[in-house]
Structure 1
Amino acid sequence: MFGRVLWFSPVVFLLVLFLSVSAAQAASGRPQLQLTGEITQAENKALILQVGLSVPPIRFTCDASPVLMRRYLQSATLAARDALRAMGYFNAQIQTHLKQDPDCAIPTMDITPGPRVHIAAVDVVVTTSAGDDLTRQAFLRDYLKKARPAKDALLNQGVYVALRDGIMERVRGAGYLDAKWRRHELLVDPKTNTADIQLDLDAGSRYHIGKITIDQSIIKPLLAQNLVGAKTGDTYTTQTLVDMNQNLSSSQYFSDVRVRPQWDQRTAHQVPITIRTLPNEPRSYELRVGYGTDTGARFGGKITQRYVNRSGHSWKADLSLAQRKQTLGATYTMPKISDPLNQHYDLYEVFDREQDTGITTLSSTTGLRWVRNFNSWTSSLYSEYLVDRSQFGTNPAQTTGFWLFGARLGRQELNDPLFPTKGFVFSSGISTAAKPLLSSTSLLRAHVMLGGLYPVGKWVFKARTEVGGVVTPDFNSLPKSLRFFAGGDQSVRGYAYQSLGPTDSTGQVIGGQYLFTASAEVMHPVYGRDWWGAAFVDTGNAFDALNNIHLNTGAGVGIRWRSPVGMVRVDVAYPFDGDQRTPRLHLGIGAAF
């Protein structure tokens, strides 16, 4: 093995290709460095790369003097020894010579790496000026669990450097800007092939945010200050600066936001912050096209007026034209000046027309809602007036009105909003109306949906359940939008959209007072990272009585494509109940639950 030249090993040859000169260089008579010895063994691929990247390039030709070539070998030996030590080999043996060749002398290094150093101890001390131990704080404790080398682990100086720099980066990022090392050493004993890591950091005192100056003229200064999400006196951290930038950028008022801490002006452990902004275009336009089995082909557009006045008011108008449903809506939004990141008020108007499964509806909804975000939850209270004209099959059209008061609560945590593989979605709502308050009848309606994804290896398991109910003394007075239906792409696949539910004497589906659906699905990649296969089973129905529940079940397989605009879903489902038991195709875009 010691006498084997590197180019004779196909596996190793690929790893040290960078050590060979190009064809043009070879043609010009330039020699190439060769490695021999134990380092050429297959298990030493990382060492070959490390040495190859460290040795200096050969810049002389074959007619160079032997003295010049030996000087090169001396410098290459020093570089190779440093590279080996960086990987934990402190007892490597390196012998050099010029191998004679009829056309050109070949500089050669014969390397025996020897035993590798093991880590005997890792001591990390990080204290503040008050003597507090920062290694117990979450921001550093969690990092050390992952980055601290284990006892008896093989030495790699890159791991030591990453640990040292990572500690300093996180401590300064937590606001300890004056942190400095008392000691940072990697002590190696070549005789015992052991190493000790000793890191002792004086974090000093923590800094806080000083005066915040925002350069902008679009909105009121108080609104801009509250949009930042931080105030003078808050703890200074890198994450705080990132959050300040994101809060202002996502407000839609600015096209560019630059948050600049003024470190050179820091005094009394406070850092002034200067924020530069560029105003966004006041208006944006959006066009949409798509197709879904539930809605058919669809076309839509939206106009958004990002800011109307210095109070930050905005409005948007949205038009959606689909084969089965057409919607025109407008919303006027007013942020709460004292808490614009978490609270706003909406005035809205929505006109709907829908014709599907033998039901035709025309409706208008006018409302006011208060939206509040807290701890990743989104909640809203609303009051709206619904006017609906519905016709079920050949029955006479019926016009009803309801003054609804309600609340909604939801939360979504997904690892990827376009193609999630882990997380959950929760949404719920409750509404009520009273006949004496301008309503056709009294009612109490509730609806809850919960869905989740959980990965196990390359498999992703997905589940969803949905329940709902409405209590009213006159169910016949309820419009379609307040009744429950099942079936479709996001309900029970294998059945047409809203085709499941109680029927009238003519067989027309008219919806029910209660709803229950459940779904289980499994996904697995079938081609690369973008194409996935799926298998699923869905069950559920809408019904009028809790003591008379009949669930319709469907099952099938599908394909999921991670497209640039989100998940594209193609499913083929077979219905196990009903008169028409033929497979049904379901198409959709988006990570549906």
Structure 2
Amino acid sequence: MNIWHNRTCLFFCILLYLSPAYTSPHIKLKLEGLSDEIQHKINSNISILQGNKISDNPNNLKKQVERILRENLQALGYYSSSIDFKFQPSLKNTNRILIVHVSPGIPIRIANVNVILRGEARQDKDYQLWVKNNTPKLGTILNHNTYDHFKSGLSSLAIQKGYFDATFKKHQLCISPERLQAYWDIDFNSGQRYRIRKIRFRNTNIRKEYLHNITKIKTLEYYSTELLEKLHRLLLSTNWFNSVVISPILLDTKEKKTLLLDIIVTPSPRNRIESSIGYETNIETRVKNTWNKPYLNSHGQSFQTNINLSAAKQSANIIYKVPKLKSPLHQYYHFNGQFKREDLNNTKIHEIKLHMSRFWKTSNGWKKAINLHWRKGHFSQPGITNKNILIYPGISVNRIRQHGELISKWGDSQYYSLDISKKLWGSDVDFIILQTQNIWIRTLVEKHRLIAKWNFGWIKTNDFQRIPPSLRFFAGGDRSIRGYKYKSLSPQDDSGKLTGGYKLATGSLEYQYRIIDQWWGAVFIDGGQAMNKLKDSKINRSAGIGLRWQSPIGFIKFDIASPIQASNDQNVQFYIGLDQQL
């Protein structure tokens, strides 16, 4: 039944696709009589053959064309077609034309369909749904491809769901050209579905208890390729391994059909060092260096150091991650130490921060955390110098969803946090800080993306001057309102110096268009303000254009932005760096 898929039918596609489809040095073929529907079905199921030798002899050419036409028409259910040939006299210096007129005739239709499922597939919902959705109705015109597709679907489901002993007891497509009828007769026995008896990890540098608690596969759980894909994804997401290969091995037991999952892992390099560089007009060149140790020991504990350097600010950050044995991916501790120095917009900051967090990740993707912060430092602004020690617990929740890894076609990011400081437990100032950040990415149609961002913040305190500037709200800059200098927007004191605000509200809307290959163009508008009172606030707006290069590590962006109706001290700003979308 698959003859038409193989040898000669590919040549025939040339005849149908061009109509007239083929021109030899001496004879041109012209096909007539086939409806657009029949011709479309043939063209959609075969490919154009390149390099076939076609006879220039008229009689041989007729035989070739007739054989190929009949094979293809029969595959579509037309077994009584008639084919006539006629040569059209050639004009001076032109090829002769062989006109092929085809009358498909009366098609053969499905008279009966007999599909029998045996074994555990009989109660399998996926098999039941496949049979329901792919069985042709009686009276449908015969199509060999539909029959082959139905059979291959049964076999594919067997592989996907672990029916490794599945066989066809019978599969017949019976055709009666005299009665113009066709009959399906399929008897499929899936046998038993295989279950996972045990998992074996090889070459692992992590204790197997941790790995088993990541997989969370129960003994005698049903096998499926979907389960293997999920397991592969989970193990790679730990960053402990450079590669993961999973192989099912059938076990010879007298019990239920079982198998062993043999998992061979390749450990990640013990050290990963990354460097990146960016540019922003008012802070000039900025450099970021990251040293990451994906695993320090067999418990999967990891270590990361980030160093950020620019003329205006410098920081060093150390993160130590401790996964819990119970659920290494979804439950873990973060211990964080940070040193920060900043001298920008008449504000100087020196501080050390220690931070501890306990994380839980839920099944729907939300990551929850309980945090405890200790911060010691001093800062100065015109006329003000302060030293303080802050101890403040907090909570945070966030979720990131995306389709596509480096370049998201669809995605969103949500972050919410609440921090509370009280003199009651030794902090130098009372405050409550609430922050939210949201990013929304959608691909409207192919080559067109829309990105929306909005951030809100709020501080409640009776002693604002003792709140460190690093906790106050400023706007402006690459990740805020482009076109304005970094942290250049906030309330001012009597001398016109920036003080930071109690509240923050910013938003951005960006449209991206794929120009060619890995290059995207962008236009955007940003707006917002850091303020003390909503009623006294002035919304600052900016607009700009950009270019995005889709590199192997993500988008590299080149942005130019300018304020809309800005004061004289604000001008065009340039931004170059890695574009972190979510």
The two structures share one fold, judged by TM-score above 0.5: yes
Selected match of 1:503 from 467, 492, 496: 492
Corresponding residue number in structure 1 for 2:32: 38
Corresponding residue number in structure 1 for 2:554: 566
Look up the equivalent residue of 2:298 and give its one-letter code: R
2:507–2:526 Cα contact (<8 Å) kept: yes
Instruction: Indicate how the Cα distance of structure 1 residues 239 and 47 shifts in structure 2: closer, same or farther if over 3 A, else same.
Output: closer
* Aligned-partner Cα distance in 2 for 1:530–1:11: 33
Instruction: Indicate how the Cα distance of structure 1 residues 123 and 34 shifts in structure 2: closer, same or farther if over 3 A, else same.
Output: farther
1:258–1:277 Cα contact (<8 Å) kept: yes
* Aligned-partner Cα distance in 2 for 1:493–1:156: 60
Instruction: Indicate how the Cα distance of structure 1 residues 287 and 153 shifts in structure 2: closer, same or farther if over 3 A, else same.
Output: farther
Question: Is 1:247 aligned to residue 240 of structure 2?
Answer: no
Corresponding residue number in structure 2 for 1:378: 367
Corresponding residue number in structure 1 for 2:5: none
Residues 121-140 of structure 1 aligned to structure 2 (within 5 Å): 129=120, 131-132=122-123, 134-135=125-126
- SS of the equivalent of 2:423 reads coil
Residues 281-300 of structure 1 aligned to structure 2 (within 5 Å): 281-293=269-281, 296-300=284-288
Selected match of 2:441 from 425, 446, 453: 453
Corresponding residue number in structure 1 for 2:199: 212
2:340–2:350 Cα contact (<8 Å) kept: yes
2:204–2:265 Cα contact (<8 Å) kept: no
Instruction: Indicate how the Cα distance of structure 1 residues 310 and 85 shifts in structure 2: closer, same or farther if over 3 A, else same.
Output: same
Question: Is 1:112 aligned to residue 83 of structure 2?
Answer: no
Instruction: Indicate how the Cα distance of structure 1 residues 56 and 314 shifts in structure 2: closer, same or farther if over 3 A, else same.
Output: closer
Question: Is 1:444 aligned to residue 432 of structure 2?
Answer: yes
- SS of the equivalent of 2:123 reads coil
1:208–1:235 Cα contact (<8 Å) kept: yes
Q: TM-score, normalised by structure 1?
A: 0.79
Instruction: Indicate how the Cα distance of structure 1 residues 56 and 189 shifts in structure 2: closer, same or farther if over 3 A, else same.
Output: farther
Corresponding residue number in structure 2 for 1:542: 530
2:312–2:344 Cα contact (<8 Å) kept: yes
1:429–1:447 Cα contact (<8 Å) kept: yes
* Aligned-partner Cα distance in 2 for 1:486–1:306: 35
Question: Is 1:489 aligned to residue 478 of structure 2?
Answer: yes
Shift of 1:190: 5.9
Shift of 1:550: 3.0
Corresponding residue number in structure 2 for 1:23: none
* Aligned-partner Cα distance in 2 for 1:550–1:127: 73
2:204–2:266 Cα contact (<8 Å) kept: no
* Aligned-partner Cα distance in 2 for 1:542–1:269: 65
Instruction: Indicate how the Cα distance of structure 1 residues 582 and 396 shifts in structure 2: closer, same or farther if over 3 A, else same.
Output: closer
Residues 184-203 of structure 1 aligned to structure 2 (within 5 Å): 201-203=188-190
Shift of 1:46: 7.3
* Aligned-partner Cα distance in 1 for 2:347–2:21: 69
CA-to-partner distance for each residue in 1:18-46, whole Å, 9 max, x for gaps?
xx7xxxxx9xxxxx997554389999487
Shift of 1:545: 2.5
Instruction: Indicate how the Cα distance of structure 1 residues 360 and 123 shifts in structure 2: closer, same or farther if over 3 A, else same.
Output: farther
Residues 574-589 of structure 1 aligned to structure 2 (within 5 Å): 574-580=562-568, 582-589=571-578
Structure 2 segments unaligned to the other structure (5+ residues): 1-11, 91-95
Instruction: Indicate how the Cα distance of structure 1 residues 173 and 134 shifts in structure 2: closer, same or farther if over 3 A, else same.
Output: same
1:186–1:195 Cα contact (<8 Å) kept: yes
Look up the equivalent residue of 1:385 and give its one-letter code: W
Deviates more, 1:502-511 or 1:419-428: 419-428
- SS of the equivalent of 1:481 reads coil
* Aligned-partner Cα distance in 1 for 2:170–2:531: 73
Look up the equivalent residue of 2:125 and give its one-letter code: L
2:73–2:104 Cα contact (<8 Å) kept: no
Look up the equivalent residue of 2:206 and give its one-letter code: I
Look up the equivalent residue of 1:473 and give its one-letter code: N
Shift of 1:439: 1.5
RMSD: 4.4
Instruction: Indicate how the Cα distance of structure 1 residues 241 and 442 shifts in structure 2: closer, same or farther if over 3 A, else same.
Output: same
Look up the equivalent residue of 2:450 and give its one-letter code: F
* Aligned-partner Cα distance in 2 for 1:466–1:144: 50
1:117–1:195 Cα contact (<8 Å) kept: no
CA-to-partner distance for each residue in 1:289-328, whole Å, 9 max, x for gaps?
3334575322232222232222222212222223333221
Question: Is 1:406 aligned to residue 394 of structure 2?
Answer: yes
* Aligned-partner Cα distance in 2 for 1:286–1:144: 53
Deviates more, 1:295-304 or 1:48-57: 48-57
Shift of 1:87: 4.7
* Aligned-partner Cα distance in 1 for 2:173–2:73: 15
* Aligned-partner Cα distance in 2 for 1:511–1:116: 83
Shift of 1:426: 0.8
* Aligned-partner Cα distance in 2 for 1:339–1:263: 29
Corresponding residue number in structure 2 for 1:165: 152
Selected match of 2:292 from 285, 304, 328: 304
Selected match of 2:318 from 330, 340, 358: 330
* Aligned-partner Cα distance in 2 for 1:35–1:576: 66
Shift of 1:531: 3.7
Corresponding residue number in structure 1 for 2:335: 347
Shift of 1:584: 4.0
Structure 1 segments unaligned to the other structure (5+ residues): 1-5, 21-25, 27-31
Q: TM-score, normalised by structure 2?
A: 0.80
Shift of 1:583: 4.6
Corresponding residue number in structure 2 for 1:390: 379
* Aligned-partner Cα distance in 2 for 1:14–1:281: 61
- SS of the equivalent of 2:152 reads helix
Question: Is 1:416 aligned to residue 404 of structure 2?
Answer: yes
The alignment-based identity, stated in percent, is 24
Residues 31-180 of structure 1 aligned to structure 2 (within 5 Å): 35-38=29-32, 44=39, 47=42, 78=67, 81-94=70-83, 110=100, 112=102, 114=104, 129=120, 131-132=122-123, 134-135=125-126, 157-180=144-167
Instruction: Indicate how the Cα distance of structure 1 residues 358 and 382 shifts in structure 2: closer, same or farther if over 3 A, else same.
Output: same
Instruction: Indicate how the Cα distance of structure 1 residues 397 and 235 shifts in structure 2: closer, same or farther if over 3 A, else same.
Output: farther
